[in-house]
Structure 1
Amino acid sequence: MEETKHVKPIYDLHERPPFLPLVGLSLQHLFSMFGATILVPILVGLNPGVALFSSGVGTLIHLLTTKGKVPAYMGSSFAFIIPMTSLLKTFGYSAVGQGVVAVGVVYLIIAIIVSQIGSAWIDKIFPPEVVGPVILVIGLSLAATAAQSATQLNGHYDTKIFLVAGATLLVTIFSNMYLGGFLGLIPVLIGIVVGYLLALAFGLVDLAPVASAHWFALPKFDFLFSQANGHATQFYPIAILTMAPLVLVTLSEHLGHLLVLSKITGQDFFKEPGLNKTLAGDGLASVAAGLLGGPAVTSYGENIGVMQLSRVYSVWVIGGAAVLAVVFSFIGKLSALIGTVPGAVTGGVGLMLYGVIAAAGLQVIVDNHVDYGQKRNLMIAGPVMVVGIGNFHLALSSQVDFSGVALATVLGIVLNLVLPKQAKSDA
């Protein structure tokens, strides 16, 4: 991987903060990923508590598989929403679980292949002129979602939503720039808390779910191999056929997120612990989720954004967030309270987090002196950014839909491999 300058971290990969700061930093990650992680099961029809539990367990599995060397948080994947919804409605959870396990198994197969052939090919297919635009796309492809959450309520523009989101963003910026000590490490958490209180004052928060929730609530696990209605679990080949191909989508996202993490931390995770280990971590995490009754999981850009903003890369903090996710999945009122954080607040934070991911892409371009006076670099960056940010997606069927980010990544790889070093018109 190309070397990129990075700012000295507050806590590096293996540095463990003191207990109270560790809890605060971990809570910041938990709040950042919570909304998206429980939104997936809500849209599909799965249990949010199980998804939260699977998220925490999956992250711990990933940390163990990568020998505690990669600070990646695993949350519910959006790539599989359509097939999971269809399978759940038609066949029930057994089919969904088999599909999720199949996703994990495909990851494990790819990990075995990579362990045999190595990952030296990464440097060839991902030079800076491809890496920079792809990282830009990963951040900015989420911009429209953040902007919509930050301005709209039930599909209509709402001034209160705009004010809450704006205040959340400004408080996050202010906290990051002007607060010192521990408070300076948790600007996202401070922004969320202030934004939540303002949303509460504006009447945008419904506390009824918190009042009705029990203090202790066992997640409603739907174990894959449990017997339903006295009958053994049936095998559903359609589940594997509809979900396994989408691994191509999440695989490109995995590579992109690993690139971002490598750049902001100054490490090369493709070499140590190795791409085979990170892929195996993703695979085992999804297998565990499928066995427990949760959706497939993947690394989260929101948490990468938090690391970029706070300069805290510690795997202890990520592990702490995972432990808190598991604990919170059993505490009904706490998980319900986090679930009441409105889209205006998460959207306001997203305006910052997604932007700093994109800025990491700019840093790759600047630090590696990518020359856009060369037509070749322009021909790679231009279509990659428009395809990714515009979500120029490929829908092969109602269940198989390749996102703009996935297509942009593949397009960047292909263009880099086939375009000549110099255009004939420049010769």
Structure 2
Amino acid sequence: MEQMERNVVLDVNERPKLGLWFGLSLQHMFSMFGSTVLVPLLVGLNPGVALFSSGVGTLLYILITKGKIPAYMGSSFAFITPMLALMKTGGYPAIAQGIWSVGAVYLIVALLVTVIGSEWINKILPPVVVGPIVMVIGLSLAGSAATNATMLHVSATKSVYDIRVFMVAIATLLITIAYNMFLSKFLGLIPILLGIVTGYIIACFAGLVNFAPVMAAHWFALPAFDLPFVNYKPTFQLGAILAMAPLALVTMTEHMGHIMVLNKLTNRDFFQDPGLKRTLAGDGTASIFAGIFGGPAVTSYGENIGVLAITRVHSVWVLGGAASFAILFAFVGKLSALIQSIPGAVIGGISFLLFGVIASSGLRIIVDNKIDFNVKRNLMIASTILVIGIGNAYLQLGQTQFSGLAVATILGIILNLVLPKQAASEKE
């Protein structure tokens, strides 16, 4: 189809002029920035490494998909709960193994898709399983958001309730909601970033920000990479793998949903060319790279797809430019220090909204697919997933721990495969 018929400003393989390229790529970087740095802040990782990982991961994705898909790989929220648990028990070495296992699952599924197709994915992960799991991902983090939004850390081991923290958190929440509702065009795509900036300014006036680390930081500094065999010696940790690997099956459904949207935007079929096997392999490889360097797992970002839709600029060159800027910003020491100085009050306020949006996305999957909870099968599956996941009913076997989210995911998949379409009482 001709470009004018599709009303496209720049098509997938078209390269913009240098000045325009610069501006369009910065726009994409700012769109992903807020969420990408928020994940490491919540888990206790370095935001500079997360920026670096997202940038290189995006370039790897573009390379593996043969430069045919305009997508950006940013920090994934789906793995926050198990990463928080693993950080307490095994530190980043445990998280790294979990992330590597996530990438490995993507690569294995990509291989299976190559051999037998992709229909089996929909059979083991129908909406009645995926919807509740996505809800759990959001709601299981509610306690973390509430703690950040109420408690002031007065020492490494002690926190106290502080009304200033709560007021800054609520102000950040309400302002971010206002940005979401009343801003349009490009500003309407970066409400999280704007909310963090505004909340940070309010926190400064409330006396909650410590500028000393920012002043002491160098302008140029290597990100605090956490490299295997350099910073730590990897040891096999089955618990970390079992805590995170099952969730890769859930994030795959989000990945495929993003590809469907991109198909419509660009009038292409990326499932056929370059193929689902390449899109999954690209996503998995990006996560493995992130785990090697000390970043969180990554996934394709809806924020950047939104930018593509509004600007009608679908150029892969622009996404590659955004990735390059992310890599460059990762080496600005003062920027990393500034991000790490964001107080918990601001993170808590933003998290109220973000975690709620994740949970609501799961609810939307259920509603959009018209899941009937008068059917006992659906009710049993969803109920089991929700309570086990949100309550974090983890399974401990020796030194190996399955997180509540992993247990809920596995049980949901099993119940979906073994339960009959109708309960005996429904046949009467």
TM-score (norm: length of structure 1): 0.76
Q: Is the 8 A contact 1:387 1:408 kept in 2?
A: yes
Question: Residue by residue, what CA displacement relative to the aligned partner does 1:135-171 show, whole Å, maximum 9, x if unpaired?
Answer: 2222222222222222222343221111111111111
The worse-fitting range, judged by mean Cα deviation, of 148-157 and 16-25 is 16-25
Structure 2 residue 421 is the aligned partner of structure 1 residue 421: yes
Q: Is the 8 A contact 1:249 1:402 kept in 2?
A: no
Counterpart of 2:221 in structure 1 is 217
Deviation of 1:378 after TM superposition, in Å, equals 1.0
Q: Is the 8 A contact 2:242 2:401 kept in 1?
A: no
Q: What does 1:193-272 align with in structure 2 at a 5 Å threshold? A: 193-219=197-223, 238-239=235-236, 244-246=241-243, 248-255=245-252, 257-258=254-255, 261=258
Counterpart of 1:58 in structure 2 is 57
Counterpart of 2:129 in structure 1 is 130
Secondary structure of residue in 2 paired with 1:372: coil
TM-aligned CA distance change 1:174 to 1:59, over 3 Å: same
Q: What does 1:140-219 align with in structure 2 at a 5 Å threshold? A: 140-154=139-153, 155-219=159-223
Secondary structure of residue in 2 paired with 1:383: helix
Alpha-carbon separation, structure 2, partners of 1:245 and 1:53: 27
The worse-fitting range, judged by mean Cα deviation, of 142-151 and 67-76 is 67-76
Counterpart of 2:334 in structure 1 is 333
Alpha-carbon separation, structure 1, partners of 2:385 and 2:91: 35
The size of the alignment, in residue pairs, is 399
Q: Is the 8 A contact 1:72 1:299 kept in 2?
A: yes
Deviation of 1:131 after TM superposition, in Å, equals 2.6
Alpha-carbon separation, structure 2, partners of 1:266 and 1:409: 28
State the Cα RMSD in Å.
4.2
Secondary structure of residue in 2 paired with 1:337: helix
Any gaps of 5 or more consecutive residues in structure 2? 1-7, 154-158
Q: Is the 8 A contact 1:253 1:405 kept in 2?
A: no
Q: Is the 8 A contact 1:392 1:403 kept in 2?
A: yes
Secondary structure of residue in 2 paired with 1:239: coil
Structure 2 residue corresponding to 1:33, chosen from 7, 31, 36 = 36
Aligned residues: percent identity? Answer: 47
Secondary structure of residue in 2 paired with 1:174: helix
Q: Is the 8 A contact 2:28 2:304 kept in 1?
A: no
Alpha-carbon separation, structure 1, partners of 2:89 and 2:75: 23
Question: Residue by residue, what CA displacement relative to the aligned partner does 1:214-262 show, whole Å, maximum 9, x if unpaired?
Answer: 1111335566577x9xxxx98x6x3376655555244245335436646
Deviation of 1:120 after TM superposition, in Å, equals 0.8
Alpha-carbon separation, structure 1, partners of 2:59 and 2:418: 40
Any gaps of 5 or more consecutive residues in structure 1? 1-9
Counterpart of 2:345 in structure 1 is 344
Counterpart of 1:412 in structure 2 is 412
Q: Is the 8 A contact 1:111 1:277 kept in 2?
A: yes
The worse-fitting range, judged by mean Cα deviation, of 65-74 and 77-86 is 77-86
Question: Residue by residue, what CA displacement relative to the aligned partner does 1:295-352 show, whole Å, maximum 9, x if unpaired?
Answer: 563438xx55897899879796865654343112211111211221112212211222
TM-aligned CA distance change 1:99 to 1:309, over 3 Å: closer
Deviation of 1:31 after TM superposition, in Å, equals 2.3
Alpha-carbon separation, structure 2, partners of 1:402 and 1:331: 38
Counterpart of 2:358 in structure 1 is 357
Q: Give, as a single letter, the amino acid of the residue that structure 1 aligns with 2:216.
A: S
Alpha-carbon separation, structure 2, partners of 1:364 and 1:99: 27
Q: What does 1:2-151 align with in structure 2 at a 5 Å threshold? A: 20=23, 22-37=25-40, 40=43, 42=45, 49-66=48-65, 67-68=68-69, 70-74=71-75, 79=82, 104=103, 107-151=106-150
TM-aligned CA distance change 1:141 to 1:312, over 3 Å: farther
Deviation of 1:174 after TM superposition, in Å, equals 1.1
Deviation of 1:280 after TM superposition, in Å, equals 2.3
Alpha-carbon separation, structure 1, partners of 2:85 and 2:188: 40
Alpha-carbon separation, structure 1, partners of 2:103 and 2:309: 31
Alpha-carbon separation, structure 1, partners of 2:170 and 2:177: 11
Q: Is the 8 A contact 1:107 1:247 kept in 2?
A: no
Q: Is the 8 A contact 2:69 2:270 kept in 1?
A: no
Q: Is the 8 A contact 1:24 1:186 kept in 2?
A: no
Secondary structure of residue in 2 paired with 1:299: strand
TM-aligned CA distance change 1:244 to 1:340, over 3 Å: same
Counterpart of 2:5 in structure 1 is none
Deviation of 1:202 after TM superposition, in Å, equals 0.5
Deviation of 1:58 after TM superposition, in Å, equals 2.3
Alpha-carbon separation, structure 1, partners of 2:403 and 2:310: 30
Alpha-carbon separation, structure 1, partners of 2:117 and 2:124: 14
Q: Give, as a single letter, the amino acid of the residue that structure 2 aligns with 1:176.
A: N
Q: Give, as a single letter, the amino acid of the residue that structure 2 aligns with 1:193.
A: V
